[in-house]
């Protein structure tokens, strides 16, 4: 039994006449009559009483009509859902986000555009540091990750830098350098106590800062290493030391912290990076990459780093 047999049967049942049903279906009357008889033979029951001027449903035919309509409706619904899924219009996407990446103004724009364009897709968010989220991406526990600097480069993952912003000095509000608006030379930080995101979680920005300090003629005194940038902002507020953070971190309006621009021989900048698996083939992720490309002005494809 095929779906076309059900369509033939429904057409005859609704028209009450084989010739009219054949015209509606765009086929000849004899083949339609043959298909109806073959369907009855397969079921082992009579579906129609043949009348001088048409046909009428038997009791078995009345029951079969209800089920046939349900089967066709289910098949059409399944086909429609398959088409939507293939276009990334339904399903879910699991995103990894670092705390500092979430605060970049591009992220809410991207997520808002995604929700507006694909409202039936469920978005699940997994927060963590860059190292952990990169491991989760390698294990396919998340499908795409927004992070800052690349902290590890496992095979099979493609990284695309989609934006960058300057780094700022985060200072306790009563610190001598917290007053004023001019950029602070990095050499002025030679005697400061630094609070940094630990090296394994953000080696890129960590390493850039160490290099900038050494170019300025000093080795920074690191008094605390933390797992996430939000933690070091809180420690700055507590007066433990100073830190360098991406400019968008100033959106955290934490009392007791002031932000100043910094100048160094090598400009200190924080990237925003999208990471996906190179074998990723979900339409939901492809749609995300297209939206990211639209907002970043870059190609949605990248090569593994």
Residues contacting 74, CB < 8 A, separation 6+ = none
Question: For the packed helices 18-25 and 29-43, what is the interaxial angle rounded to 10 degrees?
Answer: 110
Q: Sign of torsion, CA 141 143 149 155?
A: positive
Alpha helical stretches, state H, the chain? 3-15, 18-25, 29-43, 59-86, 99-102, 106-117, 130-138, 203-215, 229-237, 283-296
How far from each other are the two terminal CA atoms of the chain, in whole angstroms? Answer: 53
State the fold for domain 3-86: Arc Repressor Mutant, subunit A (1.10.10)
- Where in the sequence of the chain do the CATH 3.40.190.10 domains occur? 91-162+274-296, 164-270
Instruction: Using CB atoms within 10 Å of the CB of residue 194, give its burial: 0 to 12 exposed, 13 to 18 middle, 19+ buried.
Output: buried
Q: What pTM was estimated for this model as a whole? A: 0.74
> pLDDT value at position 163?
93
What is the CB neighbour count within 10 angstroms for residue 250?
16
> pLDDT value at position 125?
95
User: pLDDT 10s per residue in the chain (305 long)?
Assistant: 788 899 999 999 999 999 999 999 999 999 999 999 999 999 999 999 999 888 999 999 999 999 999 999 999 888 888 888 888 888 999 999 998 898 899 999 999 999 999 999 999 999 988 888 999 999 999 999 999 888 888 999 999 999 999 999 999 999 999 988 889 999 999 999 999 887 655 567 788 888 899 999 999 999 998 888 888 899 999 999 999 999 998 887 778 899 999 999 888 889 999 999 999 999 999 999 999 999 987 433 343 33
> pLDDT value at position 301?
38
18: three-class secondary structure by DSSP = helix
- Where in the sequence of the chain do the CATH 1.10.10.10 domains occur? 3-86
> pLDDT value at position 201?
55
Tell me the CATH number for domain 91-162+274-296: 3.40.190.10
> pLDDT value at position 304?
35
Distance of CA 285 to the CA centre of its chain: 6
Q: Are 145 and 100 in contact (CB under 8 A)?
A: no
Question: For the packed helices 3-15 and 29-43, what is the interaxial angle rounded to 10 degrees?
Answer: 110
> pLDDT value at position 274?
96
DSSP assignment of 210-261 = HHHHHHTT---EEEEEESSHHHHHHHHHTTS-BEEEEGGGGGS--TTEEEEE
Which residues does residue 94 pair with via DSSP β-bridges, in sequence order? Answer: 124
CA 12, 16, 20 angle in degrees (round to 5)?
65
Residue 135 token pair: 């491991």
> pLDDT value at position 303?
35
Distance CA 102, CA 175 (A): 28
The domain defined by 164-270 carries CATH number 3.40.190.10: yes
């Amino acid at each position: 039994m095929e779906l076309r047999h059900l369509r033939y049967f429904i057409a005859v049942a609704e028209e009450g006449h084989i010739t009219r049903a054949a015209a509606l279906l765009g086929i000849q009357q004899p083949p339609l009559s043959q298909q109806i008889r073959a369907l009855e033979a397969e079921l082992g029951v009579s579906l129609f009483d043949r009348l001088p001027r048409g046909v009428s449903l038997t009791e078995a035919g009345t029951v079969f009509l209800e089920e046939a309509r349900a089967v066709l409706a289910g098949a059409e619904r399944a086909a429609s859902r398959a088409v939507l899924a293939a276009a990334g219009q339904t399903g879910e996407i699991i995103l990894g986000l670092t705390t500092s990446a979430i605060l970049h103004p591009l992220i809410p724009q991207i997520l808002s555009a995604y929700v507006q364009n694909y409202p039936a897709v469920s978005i699940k968010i997994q927060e963590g540091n860059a190292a952990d989220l990169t491991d989760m991406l390698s294990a396919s526990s998340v499908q795409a990750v927004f992070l800052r600097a690349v902290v590890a480069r496992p095979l099979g993952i493609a990284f695309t830098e989609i934006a960058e912003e300057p780094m700022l000095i985060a200072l306790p509000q009563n610190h001598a350098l917290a007053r004023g608006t001019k950029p602070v030379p990095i050499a002025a930080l030679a005697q400061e106590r630094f609070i940094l995101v630990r090296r394994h979680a953000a080696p890129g920005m960590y390493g850039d800062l160490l290099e900038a300090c050494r170019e300025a003629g000093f080795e920074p005194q690191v008094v605390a290493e933390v797992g996430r940038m939000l933690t070091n902002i809180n420690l700055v507020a507590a007066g433990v030391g100073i830190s360098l953070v991406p400019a968008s971190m100033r959106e955290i309006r934490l009392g007791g912290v002031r932000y100043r621009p910094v100048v160094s021989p090598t400009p200190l900048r924080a990237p925003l990076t999208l990471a996906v698996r190179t074998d990723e083939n979900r339409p939901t992720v492809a749609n995300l990459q297209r939206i990211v490309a639209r907002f970043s002005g870059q190609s949605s494809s990248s090569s593994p780093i």
